[in-house]
Amino acid sequence: MRARDTGASHRLTRWIPAIVAPIAIGVGVVLVPLQANAAVDLPDLTPAELLEFAASSDVESLSGTIEQRSELGLPDLSGLTGAMGGGGGSGGGTGGGTEDFGDGDGDSGSGSDGDAAASATDLDDLISLATGTHTAKVYLDGSNARLQVLDRLAERNVYLSDEGAWIYDSAEKAATHLTVDQAALDALEAEAQAHHDEARERLEAELGAPLPTPEQLLDEALAKLDQTTDVSVGTDGRVAGREVYELVLEPRDADTLVGEITVAIDGDTGVALAASVTARGADEPAFSVAFTDVSFEAPDAAVFAFTPPEGTEVTEHAVPIPTVEELEQWKAQAEAESQAEAAPGDEAARPVVHGEGWSAVVELPAAGVGGAGFDGEAAAMLGALTERVDGGRILSTSLVTVLITDDGRVFAGAVTADRLLDAAATGR
């Protein structure tokens, strides 16, 4: 095999975002409508009891197949990516709407045919995350984990263990090997736990009473959630052949695009097996992920073993382990920076959150995002994805809206276009 000492190749990192969602599903709450079944009648639980049941799940081993579906309502950009050198389109673009961003000839003046092809491939990768169906296999057994993303004629794998991690792309014949000093990590965890226990004892002594129990914290969290969200237990059903509870969250906010979030929780183990996000007024989920099959038996140890095939380009990277003192220094520095008054002109570099809850809007100031900052390819893509509004351009999907203002600011949220325009105009 060929080896390199530093950095991850662009070819490898291109697809890493594609595995983020499946990883999140494998280790936490998954975001898919369950199959309601009148024959399923699990013991009744309140929302608080169901959340507590899920939080107390102690499953350490499982394997299964996950399917993610995204239907956000994005336009068909196959023609555009073909025109940019992707090889799959007719080269005609996607129509009008690009006149505000340049001449639209697709020539940035500084790129090459190779750069255009790479840009088109990156765009295809990005669009694929928000559309269509993706399938992955997940294997977990204690500290060992593997995520296998299945592509046409290829696959991508992430292997995790106490010794580190491997990230492998069979199509690119490239792998990244992340190693960790386990002794240093164990020492950090032990020291952090000692600091935590000491801080807890000191705080309890100052308060004169024990700190809140997890159940009390859950009740408090639910009370706050009830102010903005209806939380209920829906209809029992089945996911991957298993009986599940349905937890339903419905926002009480007219400005959000989210109509409902459902999470299917295994009635025996408490593991989240499926979930979906449905846009307001829609009948079908805009985003859903679910196990199509699952087993809670320990997977064969062989599925966690990885040796780079001959000819693989390997990148070695050692993950540094900080000390508790270094972590505290970083935390203190971050707090000091957040409390310090921004110097003149620095405000533009800081993200700002307008509002809160379901209708919160994030402002991401970005110099050069305005029309003059785009070359022909980016202008064509932006023109195809967005529509012109007074003061900028809007990208609308069923769940997320993005506003790019003429002065270079970017506003985004799971909110209506009117909410973004109001935030841009009023700063609220």
Cβ atoms within 10 Å of 165's Cβ, excluding its own: 17
Output the CATH code of domain 2-74+130-318. Answer: 2.50.20.10
Structure confidence by residue, pLDDT tens digits, 76-111 = 555 444 444 444 443 333 333 334 444 334 444 444
pLDDT at 375: 59
With tokens 């007219």, the residue in question is 254
pLDDT at 335: 73
**Phi, psi (deg, nearest 5) at residue 257:** -85, -15
pLDDT at 297: 96
Nearest to 387 by CA among 70, 74, 71: 74
Least reliable range by pLDDT among 269-273, 327-331, 361-365, 407-411: 327-331
Q: Can you tell me the distance from the alpha carbon of 32 to that of 271, in angstroms, rounded to the nearest whole number?
A: 14
Structure confidence by residue, pLDDT tens digits, 44-57 = 999 989 998 998 89
| Domain assignments of the chain as residue spans, ordered by start | 2-74+130-318
Statement: the pTM of the whole predicted model exceeds 0.85? no
With tokens 């993950």, the residue in question is 319
Structure confidence by residue, pLDDT tens digits, 202-250 = 766 766 667 676 667 767 767 767 788 999 999 999 999 999 999 999 9
**Maximum CA extent, the chain:** 73
CA distances (Å), 153 to each of 106, 150, 159, in order? 31, 8, 20
pLDDT at 76: 56
pLDDT: which is higher, 344 or 167: 167
